[in-house]
Structure 1
Amino acid sequence: MAMSAQDSDIQEAARLWAIRVQEPAFDDWTGFTEWLERDPSHLAAYEAALDDEAWAVALFSAAPAVEPDALPVRRWWLAGSAAAAAAVAVVGGWMVLDRDAPAQQIATAPGEHRTIELADGSRLALNGATRVTIDPDTPRQVVLEHGEARFDVRHDASDPFVVVSGGTRLVDAGTVFNVVQDGDALEVAVAEGAVIYQPGPGEVRLAPGDTLTRQGKSAKPLLGKASPQTVGSWATGELQYDNPALDQVARDLTRSIGRPVRSAGGAGRLRFTGTLVLRGTPEEVLARAGPLLGVEFIADGEGWTMSPAHGPPR
């Protein structure tokens, strides 16, 4: 079947974005994300551009020699040079960072999940629309620029692991923990071990099941509780809940499926305890979730509106 003019334009735009994000000075991540979210076909076209081995090789032709199994490049991009890009091997949903590579910004598209193995054996999982900066010269520090990440840290008391998010320092004390950076708002939840929030005279130590939320950089952090097994559960393909408001569930679904989910008609005040499975298309995920949450998901432009159904959540 011949390609339509619209399809050709989308393919050309996808290739242009793939070229632009490799430029050292690229900083239009907002524009890139908005383009991806504008139409589901955009992400598919972008991935197809990177999956085109001959074209990808041409794109990275300025890079040093790359091992054959590092190509074709699939579903990732770096805000850096082609040489930096070539220093990351991609296998399935995993990225393994070369300790000799320069500092890199790694981003996921809306709805995309990525797991990164660091040189020290620690791992971090990135939820959709997330960006981190990793410098192999300081392998025990990760900057979460925005989005959501779950950290599974190899503890080393002599060399603490540090996450910097929104100017805030979070120091590992033998930990599995989850961090969300949304604008100036910060959320931290601990599944195992402990995290020290802003080490120093006013530090806060978070134990398993502890949560900390802060609505702005100057806002007072608020402490709460969560079931440790629910912390960062999205990284395993599930969203596990222990009685949060559905406003929180809507935000989690938005990050995980890559399409906006909004609450309306009081649905956001309902509460839910249970598990939502993220397997399948966004439509399949929401079709399963609706009856469990006691809501209806109504298509609304590029996303869905979540409204109360008849009867309370089960």
Structure 2
Amino acid sequence: MTDWTREMEEEAIAWLIRQRDPSFDDWETFEAWLAADAAHARAYAETAAADRDLDELLSGVSWPAEAEPDFDEPVVPSRRRWLGGALAASVALAVAAGSWLAWPSRDLYSVQTAAGERRTVVLADTKLELNGETRIELDRKDQRFARMEQGQALFTVRHDPAHPFRLETADATLVDAGTTFEVTTGGGALDLAVSEGMVVVDPGKAGIDVPAGQRFTLAKGQRTGRLSAVRPADVGAWRSGQLFYDGAPLSRVAADLQRNLGVPVSVNDAAATRPFRGVVRLDGGVEPTMARLGVLLGAPVRRSGKGWVIAGP
């Protein structure tokens, strides 16, 4: 049985909606509302974590046209014919682990960041913004190639039809034709979010179009991906100290916090798959961030040695 009123629930939903506005900056008022009554925090945490349809939560809100599509069903790839003009207007993402062996020899060198560290690398026509705990290999002979082993990075690429940019991960190959996208990879999973341009996902030699405003996720051990909506403004938002979530499991939240804050963050088994919706601010350092997270979740977030543990509800 809940201890909050319908009015509190409506206020919590209103806060979630307001926080989706890129210009929202009324954090002090929001935190004052949370602190005014413990039931406010529980109402917000329950509302944010509820695995409900976005259309119900955000009814009546107008979004940019590119963010409107919302696909919650698993996407089973279908066969796709490649036309020259299609490649000139999209990114090809093909599951091709190990396919790089067939390419000419390369002169690779590694660039990596530690947890809590960020780094920007500028190549000929590409800018790579690396978040913490990221490792990527670049080619001294070919600045239109990269191999990402793990981590998170935002890519801004200028199209060159004669020499497209290629990014390889353990699970996929991306051939870019001029776009901005974020890739998070590691542990056999892939998360691709597109803010500009188009991505064609091609696991198993079949194609799925992923336009700007869409996210493609491929879970560990899976060959079927999933599409969902993402606001273009949220792609790479970690660069400005904010993490946006729309139903992500707490295990992903913990990994992101560790990557950005530079301290170990884990989540116990009981809470690992719990979905979370909300905005986590990183300003103020580790302790203020973790304190805010505990309020948002309505669940304990405890210090453990040199790190932190997100406990179950």
Letter in structure 2 aligned against 1:142: A
Task: Please tell me whether residue 110 in structure 1 is matched to residue 136 in structure 2.
Answer: no
Matched with 1:245 is 249
Matches of 1:223 and 1:156, distance apart in 2: 27
Matched with 2:268 is 264
Task: Report SS of the residue matched to 2:215.
Answer: strand
Q: 1:218 to 1:284 in 2, by over 3 A?
A: closer
CA contact (8 A) 1:171 1:199 kept: no
Matches of 2:273 and 2:256, distance apart in 1: 15
| Unpaired stretches in structure 1, ≥5 consecutive residues | 1-101, 310-314
CA contact (8 A) 1:175 1:192 kept: yes
Letter in structure 2 aligned against 1:173: A
**TM-score after normalising by structure 1:** 0.58
Q: CA deviation at 1:259?
A: 2.3
Q: CA deviation at 1:288?
A: 3.0
Task: Report SS of the residue matched to 1:197.
Answer: strand
CA contact (8 A) 2:181 2:192 kept: yes
Matched with 1:197 is 201
Matches of 1:171 and 1:274, distance apart in 2: 32
- Deviation per CA, 1:232-282: give whole Å up to 9, x if none: 211232212234333322221122112232223754455444322223432
CA contact (8 A) 2:149 2:186 kept: no
- Deviation per CA, 1:131-162: give whole Å up to 9, x if none: 10111321111110111111122223333222
Q: CA deviation at 1:188?
A: 1.3
- Deviation per CA, 1:149-198: give whole Å up to 9, x if none: 11122223333222101152112233211111212222211122112334
Task: Report SS of the residue matched to 2:259.
Answer: helix
Matched with 1:157 is 161
Total equivalences in the alignment: 207
**TM-score after normalising by structure 2:** 0.59
Matched with 2:37 is none
Matches of 2:246 and 2:181, distance apart in 1: 17
Letter in structure 2 aligned against 1:166: A
Task: Report SS of the residue matched to 1:143.
Answer: strand
Matches of 1:183 and 1:264, distance apart in 2: 18
CA contact (8 A) 1:105 1:134 kept: yes
- Deviation per CA, 1:189-225: give whole Å up to 9, x if none: 1122112334894133321222222234663333333
Letter in structure 2 aligned against 1:113: R
Matched with 1:78 is none
Matched with 2:235 is 231
- Deviation per CA, 1:68-124: give whole Å up to 9, x if none: xxxxxxxxxxxxxxxxxxxxxxxxxxxxxxxxxx6320010112111111122x211
Matches of 1:267 and 1:105, distance apart in 2: 35
| Unpaired stretches in structure 2, ≥5 consecutive residues | 1-106
Q: 1:279 to 1:207 in 2, by over 3 A?
A: same
CA contact (8 A) 1:294 1:308 kept: no
